[in-house]
Amino acid sequence: MQTSSTTKRYREICDEQPTLDKCFFAFSKTQFVQNKAQAGIGEDEKIYQDNSGLYGTMEGLRAVYEFYYEKNRKIAEECNPQDVYDYEWANHECMITYDDEEAIQIVIDYFGEDRAKTVKRRYARTINRENCLNLAG
């Protein structure tokens, strides 16, 4: 697969990480206590939780969400949908599963359905349990 300049840019943008100021991740009570202390959140500050294990002050969470909004905007403006599809097709090992749904869904999420329709898909079928049972006889 040939790597284009927008593929390189896509990888650069994807590798960017937010600064967790007044935010932290925790998946246990021990992590919560340890990571809260390291996040610089005062005892009197209210902590909010999202559904991914991220905790923080309202301003801290807003900064993280803004980071990801901006990251997605940059991908949509600076990258080519076909390059993103090709990268994710390989990244999700679609050549093994013969199912490109994850790759095309990522393109739809970044670029919308209209721009995703311009993508030349490699596999546009899903193998489901019923198909496997029918093939087995």
Domain chopping of the chain, boundaries: 1-78, 80-137
Q: Which neighbouring-strand residues pair with 35?
A: none
pLDDT tens digits for range 37-46: 999 999 999 9
pLDDT band for position 124 (cuts 50, 70, 90): low
The whole-model pTM stands at 0.79
Per-residue pLDDT, 130: 56
Structure tokens at 3: 């790597």
For residue 137, pLDDT over 90 is answered with no
**Within a 10 A sphere around the Cβ of 84, how many other Cβ atoms?**
25
Return the closest-CA partner of residue 57 out of 78, 36, 77, 26.
36
Per-residue pLDDT, 123: 73
pLDDT tens digits for range 54-70: 999 999 999 999 999 99
* C-alpha–C-alpha distance, residues 53 and 64, integer Å: 13
